[in-house]
Structure 1
Amino acid sequence: MAGRRDGRGMTVVIETRGLSKRYRGGQLAVDRLDLAVPAGSVFGFLGPNGSGKTTTIRMLMGLIEPTEGTASVLGRAMPRAAGAVLPHVGALIEGPALYGYLNGRDNLLRYDSADPTADPRTRRARVAGALERVGLTAAGGKKAKAYSLGMKQRLALAAALLQPRRLLVLDEPTNGLDPQGMREIRALVRELAGEGTTVFLSSHLLDEIEQVCTHAAVMARGRLLTQGTVAELAAGTRGRLAVTTPDPGDAARVLKELGVTDVTVAGDRVTGELPVSGEGEPAEPAELNAELVRAGVRVRAFGVERASLEDAFVALTGEGFDVAG
C-alpha cells in the first residue's frame, strides 16, 4: 500500500480535498480543507480551540464521515478503505483508552490479540518490546487504573507501536508528561521518522512542534491558513529587531522614526518589528544600526531574532495558542 504522488513528484500519505464537516444544527467544524502530508515527514497539526483539528483527525481515521470532500490515507479513500488502511496506522486520539482493571502488559496483550494481522506466537515479545520502547517495562505489571496520566499516555503510545506502522497519528502525545518524558517522546518520534514512519501529530506545545516537526499546518475556525515546512512557515514571519543600549529611550525614539513598529523597552533592551520596504522586503538591519549610531545612541548589541513557529502562528491567527484546541 503506497501513498499518492502529487504534482511535484512528492509522495503524500495523507491528502484531503475540499474536506468539510458540518454537524447537526449547522455548525461547520471543518471547511474545505486541502491538506497534503509528505511521506517520511513529522507533520505538526496546529490550531486554537475550535479550529477543527480533532474533527479532521477523526475523519482521517474513518471514525466519522465528512459532509463533503474527500480524504485519503496511504493512497486509499477513507472511510471506505478503513479495513485495509488502519492495520498500517498506529493512533493515539483524544487520550488513552485503557482497561483500568488490567495491568499495562495485559492491556497490550488484549490490543495485540484484537489485531487479525498479529502473529500470536510472537505476541509477548512484541508487547515486551513496546513497553521497553516507551519506558514502561518496570510498570508493566501495575494496573492501568493506578497509572498517572503520563504513564497512560506512554501505554497508549506503546499500543500504537505494537506493529511496524507506515503512519503514526498522535493527538497531544506529551499530555501529562514531565519534561524528561517529553524529551523521551521527542526522541522516540525522531527515531520512528528515521525508520521511515510518517508521524502526524497535533499539540498545544508550539515549542515541542518546532523541535521535532519537519512540516506543519495551521488551522483556525475550521479553515487551513497555511502549510509547509516548519522553516518556511517561520521564515514567512518577520524577525524582531533587538538592541541593547544604555540609551533605551533615545533608541526607541529613533527606531520609531525609522519605521520600526511595536517598539518595546525593557531595561536596556529595545525590540521591535522590522519595517518593510515598498517592495515588501524587510529593511536592512545594518542601515538601522548605522542610523542609531549617527543619532548618538550607544549600541552595545544589535541583531535580528529569528522568527519562531509561535510568531508565525500568532501572525496567522491573530491570537495566542489555546491549549484546549
Structure 2
Amino acid sequence: MTAAPGGREAASATEAAPAPAVIRTRGLTKRFRGGQLAVDGLDLTVPRGSVFGFLGPNGSGKTTTIRMLMGLIAPTSGAASVLGSPMPQSAGSVLPRVGALIEGPALYGFLSGRDNLVRFDSADPTADPRTRDRRVAEALARVGLSAAAGRKARAYSLGMKQRLGLASALLQPRELLVLDEPTNGLDPQGMREIRALVREVAAEGTTVFLSSHLLDEIEQVCTHAAVMSRGRLVVQDTVAELAAHARGRLVVRTPDTEEAVRVLAAHGVADLRATGDRVDGEPPTGAAADPDALLPKLCAALVEAGVRVRSFGTERGSLEDAFVALTGEGFDVAG
C-alpha cells in the first residue's frame, strides 16, 4: 500500500519495517572452471536476530555460497554483503565480527584441544590476551570438551573435532555465527547438545546462519530457512510459513480400515494409505481453510457408514512435506 508521507499507512509501514539484513545477496553466481555452475543467481536475505537454516541436499551449492559470503572465494558475478558491508572487499573489517565453522575444522593435530584454541585466539587481532585462558576454558566447557582439553587433536574423533571447531567460533561474542553442517560426525546425543547450544547462542543476540542437509535439524532449531536445489534458491521464508506450504494429513484410527478408505475416498480424501489400524490421507481442498466445517462432516460420514472410529484428527505438515511439495524431490530427513 502506498500513502502520502506522514499518513497513517506510512507510520504503520515504518513500525512494521523488517529487521535489517545481516546477510544479503543479489544475483550471486559461482561458475567453476569447466563450466560447472555451483550457485546460480542467488537472492538471499538473512534477518538480524534469526536462526537461519540454509537447507539443501549435499551438492546443492550451500558450502560454495558460504565460502563466497566469508570471502574465501570470489563470485563469478552478483553481489553479497555481510553485516552491511560488501564481501569479499570488506573481509578485513567484517570477519572479526563473525564466528565460522566451514567444511569441518582445520586443526593442528600435534597440539592439544586447548592449545589449538589458544593458537586460534592468538591469531585474532581483536582478542584480549589477558582474558584468553578464561575464554578458552569457557568455550571448551560449552561444547563438552573440558575433560579432553589436554589430549592431542589428532586423537579426537570426528565428532570431537567438530566440537572443537565450534568452540573456536565461540571464543568471543560474535554478531554472526556461520555453521556449515555443525552436527556432522556427532551421535544423536551430540546433535541434541549442539542444537541446544545454537539456541543458547541465538538467545544471547547472535544471528546464526546454519547450513544443513538435515530437515529435522532445521525444523527443530531455526526460525527462518531457505531451500537450495541444484545451485538455485527454491524458496525462503519463516520455518512456520514454509511448513504451511504442506497440507497436513487426515489420520483415522479404526479397526475397519477398508471401509474407512472407501468412505473417505468418496468424500474427496486423496493419497489414502492404510497401515495397521491407521488410515491417513490428504484432506479435501478447502479443509485447511475451514476445518471446522469439513472435518466434522468427514467424521460423521465414517460413523454413519458403521466405521468404528477410535480417533480422528489431522497432523500438521512438516518441513519434509513442504520440501517435496515445492520441489517434487525426496530429501534426507535423518537427524
TM class, shorter-length? over 0.9
Correspondence 1:1-325 to 2 at 5 A: 8-277=17-286, 281=289, 284-322=294-332
Query: Which amino acid counterpart does residue 293 of structure 1 have in structure 2?
Result: V
Give distance in 2, aligned partners of 1:286 and 1:321.
34
CA–CA separation in structure 2 for the residues paired with 1:194 and 1:49: 29
Q: CA deviation at 1:16?
A: 0.7
Compute the displacement of 1:195 (Å).
0.6
Deviations 1:151-193 (A, max 9, x none): 1011000101111100000011111122222222111111111
In structure 2, relative to structure 1, the CA distance for the partners of 1:45 and 1:193 (3 Å cut) is same
Counterpart amino acid of 1:36? T
Please tell me the root mean square deviation across aligned C-alpha atoms, in Å: 1.9
Note if contact 1:91-1:160 (Cα within 8 Å) is conserved in structure 2: yes
Q: How far apart are 1:49 and its partner, in Å?
A: 2.9
Letter in 2 for 1:47: G
Q: Which amino acid in 2 is paired with 1:91?
A: A
SS at match of 2:147: coil
C-alpha contact (below 8 Å) 1:276/1:282 kept by paired residues: no
8 Å contact from structure 2 (residues 215, 332) kept in 1: no
Q: Provide, for residues 117-164 of structure 1, a one-character-per-residue CA deviation record: whole Å limited to 9, x for no partner.
A: 112222222211111111111111000000011110110001011111
Q: May I ask how many residue pairs the two structures share in their alignment?
A: 318
Letter in 1 for 2:131: T
8 Å CA contact 1:49–1:323 kept in 2: the answer is: no
Following the alignment from structure 1 to structure 2, what is the Cα–Cα distance between the partners of residues 323 and 146?
A: 30
AA at the equivalent of 1:314: V
Which shifted more, 139-148 or 128-137? 128-137
1:281 positional shift: 4.6
Q: Work out the percentage of aligned pairs sharing the same amino acid.
A: 75
After TM superposition, give the deviation of residue 317 of structure 1 in Å.
Answer: 2.2
CA distance in 2, matches of 1:293, 1:134: 54
- For residue 169 of structure 1, what is the amino acid of its counterpart? V
Gaps of 5+ in 2: 1-13
Query: Which residue type is aligned with residue 64 of structure 1?
Result: I
Deviation for aligned residue 1:32: 1.2
Deviation at 1:318, TM superposition (A): 1.8
Offset of residue 203 of structure 1: 1.7
Deviation of 1:302 (Å): 0.6
Contact 2:55/2:214, CA 8 A, preserved across alignment: no
Which amino acid counterpart does residue 287 of structure 1 have in structure 2? K
Does the CA contact (< 8 Å) of 2:239 and 2:319 recur in 1?
A: yes
- Over residues 41-62 of structure 1, what are the superposed CA-to-partner deviations in whole Å (9 max), with x where a residue is unaligned? 1111111232111111111111
Structure 1 consecutive aligned stretches of length 4 or more whose deviation exceeds 3 Å = 279-283
Partners in 1 of 2:68 and 2:106 — Cα distance? 19
Q: Are the aligned partners of 2:23 and 2:80 in contact in 1 as well (CA < 8 Å)?
A: yes
Deviations 1:232-264 (A, max 9, x none): 111121001101111100111121222221111
Aligned equivalents of 1:234, 1:211: Cα separation in 2: 12
| Counterpart contact for 1:90–1:167, Cα < 8 Å | yes
Q: CA deviation at 1:319?
A: 2.0
Letter paired with 1:101:
F
Is contact 2:112-2:150 (8 Å) kept? yes
TM-score (norm 2): 0.90
- State the one-letter code of the partner of 2:309: V
- The CA distance in 1 between the partners of 2:135 and 2:145, in whole Å, is 14
Measured in 1, the distance between the counterparts of 2:285 and 2:19 equals 34
Matched residues in 2 for 1:21 and 1:286: separation?
A: 52
For the 8 Å contact 1:274–1:282, the answer to whether it is kept is no
Work out the CA distance in 2 between the residues paired with 1:89 and 1:63.
Answer: 14
- How far apart are the structure 2 equivalents of 1:23 and 1:275? 47
